[in-house]
Amino acid sequence: MTTIDAFIAALPKAELHLHLVGSASVPTVLELSRRHPGSRVPSHEEELRSFYTFRDFPHFAEVYEAVNSLVREPEDVATLVDGAAADLAVQNARYVEITVTAASHQRVGMPMREITEALDIAAARAEHEHGLRVNYIFDIAPDFGIEAVRGTLDHALQEPPANLVGFGLAGTEQKRAPLRDEIRDAFRAARAAGLRSLPHAGEMSGPETIWEVVEHLGAERVGHGIRCLGDPRLVAHLRETQIPLEVCPTSNVCTQQVPDIAAHPLPRLLEEGLFVTINTDDPPMFATNLTKEYKVVADTFGLGREQLAELARNAVRASSLDEQERKALIAEIDQVAAEG
């Protein structure tokens, strides 16, 4: 029987919760920083790693925005996808849904068509060079205001990349309330156009945020969702409906949503019979990757091979792959699990 580390390395994986800018590895950020000098982002590796030490979520958001400011041209967008694909491929990842905050690229003057072309080119390159299937989610960032809501929807409906599968909602949860009606309208239009509803909720605020996306946005998955445990009725609803949760353990520690990994609610989520997937969120910023996330939950919570394999299957089941593709990838996971 292989070691648990070897088992995790061999396990075919799918990543459902990965932000494009947050996926930028240290070498990628350094490349962008040198390509666009004069930003607040350090251009030396040691300083950059120190830059990624977060006091809290608002500080993380500041750092994220600083890195985002380096993405100024379509070539930069493609560079980010290329880097994420290369990083995932070496971890035996076969599929990823990358969340793109299109409005942030529009704000620096990139035309929608050029952003879309860059995403299309990079997705094709990832499949050709790495055998990695890349799909995209466009997310609304309420931090950018009403224009971002409209701009994101316009982009998703008028100039979507070929692999756009979902419409999301991220950013600071506490800033959503003033835009509630506009956000609901945008999701209604996106869903009518065939996009899946894939919003974040219950990361930095309570169960009411999760109820909002479930009841009013038609959420098919919930990004994070860890605050659901504060409401037994919500837990029962999530258990009954089996709406998947995109759990990102190390992210929650680094942004201080939980005090340390041992205090993470993952074991309770599993005990409650909820549909859990394991993801990274913004891996280089949190000094992690998808393989490490599986390892940390195995080491911290004593999860065995079959539990880890089931988490990997869950990610495939919750993905936007078609049924035939899901079955094929689950069969690969089953084979690794059987070999132990």
Residues 6+ apart with CB under 8 A from 178: 142
One of 173, 203, 212, 293 is an active-site residue; which one? Answer: 203
Q: What angle do helix axes 112-130 and 74-89 make, rounded to 10 degrees? A: 20
Measured between alpha carbons, how far is 214 from 94 in angstroms, rounded to an integer? Answer: 29
Reading phi first (left if > 0) and then psi (alpha if -120 to 50, else beta), residue 338 is in alpha
Distances 199 to 139, 157, 239, 240 between C-alpha atoms, Å: 8, 17, 18, 19
**What are the tokens at 105?**
């690229």
Helix H or strand E segment including 201: strand 200-201
Burial class of residue 338 (count of CB atoms within 10 Å of its CB; 0-12, 13-18, 19+): exposed
Q: Given CA atoms 154, 71, 321, 294 in this order, what sign does their dihedral have? A: negative
**What are the tokens at 266?**
């993952």
Q: Which among 209, 216, 144 has a CA at the least distance from the CA of 186?
A: 216
Specify whether 127 is catalytic: no
Residues identified as active-site: 203
